Amino acid sequence: MKNLKRILAILCIVLLVALYIVTLVLSVLDVPGADKMFLASAFCTIMLPIMLYIYMWIYKLLKNKEK
């Protein structure tokens, strides 16, 4: 479980950094649909850690049921 948490945490950090960069670039650029892409990027920045926590919580519950 520790290795899985570590891998998921590193993956989450990489994705969050990418989302921050995308959000910054989209806030500066003036391309069609940038406002919608900016909102989607900001939403994913908030939801990604929450979803990761929920997945790990469900995995822990399911693993304990099997024992």
Which residues, 6+ apart, have CB-to-CB distance to 52 below 8 Å? 8, 9, 12
pTM of the predicted model, to two decimals? 0.64
* DSSP string covering 14-35: HHHHHHHHHHHHHHH---TTHH
Each residue of 3-62: pLDDT tens digit? 877 888 888 889 889 888 887 887 787 778 878 887 888 888 889 889 888 988 888 888
